[in-house]
């Protein structure tokens, strides 16, 4: 209590600059400490009266004196009851003031205000960053669609021009053959040019085509599916299943019964095989997709690219930490977007 009073006196000058709310809190804190101190003194009196009542008797008279000057006397029972009532009154007042609120430190209030401002600022920054990310993602998607459209247009124009050129060459060859058989050497040379031009057109078409060849086709062997062991492949061939296409058309429960494999294992293998038939998806990608619950090409085509990429990256990062996958094999949003587009019919 004395410390609080000294502190209030030493900060009296600065309290003038503080608001009325802070000053009220300081006064209320001082009152709480004063009532608590008097409650403590009253409690000591209750204890003293109880000891006198126990050690002496109920008829014992308590005198109140200072340096021989007697102020009065009272029965020990009355002394005990009066001290007890005063203790409860003071203690109740203390609790009342505490319930109204403890004095708050102005520095703490200022720090809390600064923390709230920073939290609000960080929330705004996070919201702006998220909006910018989705806006850039939408812009990238539009740019990619436009690039694909232009590439398809350019490829179609190149094919048309090449076909026109080939048609002109054929007409020229027919005219030359009709005019003279002596121009056979020229015809052969032109035929070579046509062949070379056709090869160049094929190379241009491959270069302009963004679609990669899938890892599996319906005619691929069973061993090409990651997880199909030689024993299982032999048992499947004994059942008349020799290709991936045949493997996908058989009920996994039937395969599990005849090969002593778990139905979940067969279902996962069929899911991986089906996903590997989508261009651009390799064995690691198929395993990640199955982990997040994508078990068919149709399910992949109906996914949201952003949500699917978040789920895949979370599992892939765990694999990277465990050494099961390199950081370069973690799929990107462009990869996921391409898979979804290519999985669509």
Residue of 263, 281, 283, 292 whose CA lies nearest to 335: 281
9 and 86 assigned to the same domain: yes
96 and 120 assigned to the same domain: no
Instruction: Give me 20's structure tokens.
Output: 């009325």
Choose one of 208, 238, 259: the last residue of a domain. Answer: 208
Choose one of 178, 208, 238: the last residue of a domain. Answer: 208
Query: Residue 182's pLDDT is what?
Result: 63
The answer on pLDDT for 189 being more than 80 is no
Residue 214 lies in a domain: no
For all residues of the chain together, what is the average pLDDT? Answer: 78
Higher pLDDT, 257 or 201: 257
Instruction: Give me 253's structure tokens.
Output: 């429960």
Residue of 296, 241, 240, 303 whose CA lies nearest to 273: 296
134 and 100 assigned to the same domain: no
232 and 335 assigned to the same domain: yes
Domain that holds residue 59: 2-104
The answer on pLDDT for 180 being more than 50 is yes
203 and 283 assigned to the same domain: no
Please report how many Cα atoms fall inside a 13 Å half-sphere around the Cα of residue 155, on the Cβ side.
15
Query: Residue 339's pLDDT is what?
Result: 92
100 and 118 assigned to the same domain: no
Look at the chain and report how many structural domains it folds into. 3
- Rounded Cα distance between 315 and 284, Å, is 11
Query: Residue 344's pLDDT is what?
Result: 85
129 and 166 assigned to the same domain: yes
189-228 in b/e form (b: 16+ CB < 10 A) is ebeeeeeeeeeebeeeeeeeeeeeebbbeeebebebbeeb
Instruction: Give me 250's structure tokens.
Output: 């058989």
- Mean pLDDT, residues 220-236 taken together: 86
- Mean pLDDT, residues 156-166 taken together: 84
pLDDT band at 212 (very low <50, low <70, confident <90, very high): low
96 and 150 assigned to the same domain: no
Residue 41 lies in a domain: yes
47 and 120 assigned to the same domain: no
In degrees, to the nearest 5, what angle opens at C-alpha 40 toward C-alphas 36 and 42? 115
Residue 163 lies in a domain: yes
Residue 335 lies in a domain: yes
Query: Residue 107's pLDDT is what?
Result: 73
Residue of 152, 30, 180 whose CA lies nearest to 94: 30
Higher pLDDT, 197 or 39: 39
Query: Residue 309's pLDDT is what?
Result: 92
- How far the first Cα of the chain sits from its last, in Å, is 81
Please state the φ and ψ torsions of residue 62, each to the nearest 5 degrees. Answer: -100, 125
pLDDT in tens, 56-104: 776 777 766 666 666 667 777 887 888 889 888 888 887 877 776 545 5
99 and 116 assigned to the same domain: no
43 and 88 assigned to the same domain: yes
pLDDT band at 148 (very low <50, low <70, confident <90, very high): confident
pLDDT in tens, 252-268: 898 888 888 888 988 88
Choose one of 89, 104, 119: the last residue of a domain. Answer: 104
């Amino acid at each position: 209590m004395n410390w609080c009073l000294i502190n209030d006196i030493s900060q009296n000058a600065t309290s003038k600059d503080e608001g009325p709310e802070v000053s009220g809190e300081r006064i209320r804190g001082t009152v709480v400490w004063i009532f608590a101190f008097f409650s403590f003194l009253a409690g000591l009196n209750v204890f003293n009266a109880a000891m006198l009542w126990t050690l002496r008797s109920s008829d014992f008279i308590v005198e109140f004196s200072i340096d021989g000057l007697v102020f009065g006397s009272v029965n020990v029972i009355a002394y005990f009851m009066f001290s007890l009532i005063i203790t409860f009154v003071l203690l109740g007042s203390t609790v009342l003031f505490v319930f109204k609120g403890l004095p708050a430190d102005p520095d703490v209030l200022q720090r809390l205000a600064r923390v709230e401002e920073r939290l609000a600022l960080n929330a705004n920054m996070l919201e702006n960053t998220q909006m910018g990310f989705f806006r850039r993602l939408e812009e990238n998607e539009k740019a990619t669609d436009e690039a694909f459209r232009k590439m398809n247009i350019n490829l179609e124009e190149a094919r048309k021009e090449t076909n026109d050129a080939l048609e002109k060459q054929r007409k020229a060859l027919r005219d030359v053959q009709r005019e003279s058989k002596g121009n056979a050497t020229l015809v052969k040379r032109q035929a070579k040019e046509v062949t070379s031009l056709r090869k160049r057109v094929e190379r241009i078409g491959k270069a302009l085509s963004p679609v990669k060849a899938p890892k599996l086709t319906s005619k691929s062997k069973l061993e090409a599916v990651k997880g199909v062991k030689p024993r299982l492949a032999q048992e499947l061939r004994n059942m008349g299943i020799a290709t991936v296409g045949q493997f996908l058309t058989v009920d996994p429960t039937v395969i599990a019964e005849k090969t002593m494999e778990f139905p979940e294992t067969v279902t996962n293998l069929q899911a991986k095989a089906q996903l590997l038939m989508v261009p651009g998806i390799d064995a690691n990608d198929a395993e990640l997709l199955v982990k997040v619950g994508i078990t068919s090409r149709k399910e992949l085509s109906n996914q949201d690219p952003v949500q699917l990429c978040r789920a895949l990256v979370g599992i892939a990062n765990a694999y990277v930490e465990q050494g099961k996958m390199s950081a370069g094999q973690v799929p990107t949003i462009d990869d996921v977007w391409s898979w979804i587009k290519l999985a669509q019919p």
